[in-house]
Amino acid sequence: MSSKKEKLTKEQKAEQRETARVSRERLNRITKTRKHHLRTSARVMKYGTKSFVRNAWLSMAAIAIMAVTLIVLSATIIATNAMGSAIAAVEDQVDMSIYIKQTASVEQIRKITSGLESLDSVTEVRSTSPEDANNASIKKLIEESNITDEAYIESLYEAPNKIPWTINVKLKNLNDTSELEDFVNNSEVMINMLDARPPSYSSSHRETIDRIAGIMNRIEIIGLAAAGIFALIAVLVVFNTIRMAIFNRKEEIYMMRLVGASRWFIIGPFVVEAALYGVVAAALSGIVVYAAAFGLHHSIGSVLDSSIVFMQNYWYFCAGALLAVGILIGVISALLAARKYLDAKI
């Protein structure tokens, strides 16, 4: 009798093992289906959104510091671009002057300007004849001195003209005048053509350009450093916020692990919650940055023109960049907090 009971028990155990095997295979097949993945993702999104709404007040600090991070980063980029525009505007007004003898013919001047235009470092060449330069200087003198005496004005025009030909050259890079200097000193068309007045390879604007460039570099370094510090603070704040949310739901997480919930199913809602922090922070920072940029544009004028045009024409790129950075900060923080908790409990 006992042997029969023992036999039945072995059969029951074998049946149980077979049932468990079939169940595992069926579960594996279900979990590998696309429908299951979609359903799981939908639930993760749902639980994460609910947690975000439930912990709204707890999330304010995280959202605020993330928004500040995005604002500082955006302000740094806009300020750097504005400084670049200012440098470009100043450089556009700067040119090098080459003085050619007054006796040079129009054909000789044409050869010189053609040679200068062929240089890779040159963007624009303009020549001014002695007559045009003389007339322009007399007109300027008359206007500035308010001269009305016709006889005196006529004498000014009849006076000997000692102004040489002037060729103004604009360079791609004001710091690199080597090619221009080589042409002036060694080109065949320039032999015995230079006036006694030496060429001007430097400009009074150079100091202004260098000063603006220095300020731009400092703003970029300080801005990126500040954005990095705020980003680190944001990661820490979001990390602690998610950690508190995990502790509030530790019993729920324990039950989920007991029933075999996957690691992603447990971590996912917290990642979604932190990503929503980034979405809200990106929206708030976008509003602040756009309002500030357009407000300053009316006050300080053209230096923000390129930034405003870019923000208007590529608003979707700006919004996407803010969203990407905000979500990235949130997701990294949530993954660190959730993985640290789960690893400690395993």
Nearest Cα residue to 54 out of 184, 236, 249:
249
pTM: 0.63
Q: Where in the chain is the domain with CATH 3.30.70.3040?
A: 95-202
- Kindly tell me if the per-residue pLDDT of 5 is higher than 70: no
Average pLDDT, the chain: 78
More confident residue, 332 or 211: 332
Whole-Å CA distances, 249 to 1, 179, 254, 267: 53, 71, 9, 12
Q: How confident is the model at residue 19 (pLDDT cuts 50, 70, 90)?
A: low
- Its CATH architecture, for the domain 95-202, is 2-Layer Sandwich (3.30)
* C-beta of residue 96 within 8 angstroms of C-beta of residue 160: no
Nearest Cα residue to 87 out of 215, 218, 213, 217:
213
- Kindly tell me if the per-residue pLDDT of 28 is higher than 60: no
Residues 6+ apart with CB under 8 A from 40: 262, 264, 265
Q: 243-255 pLDDT, tens per residue?
A: 777 777 777 777 7
Q: How confident is the model at residue 177 (pLDDT cuts 50, 70, 90)?
A: confident
Mean pLDDT over 71-89 rounds to 80
Give the Cα-Cα-Cα angle 132, 137, 143 (nearest 5 degrees).
Answer: 125
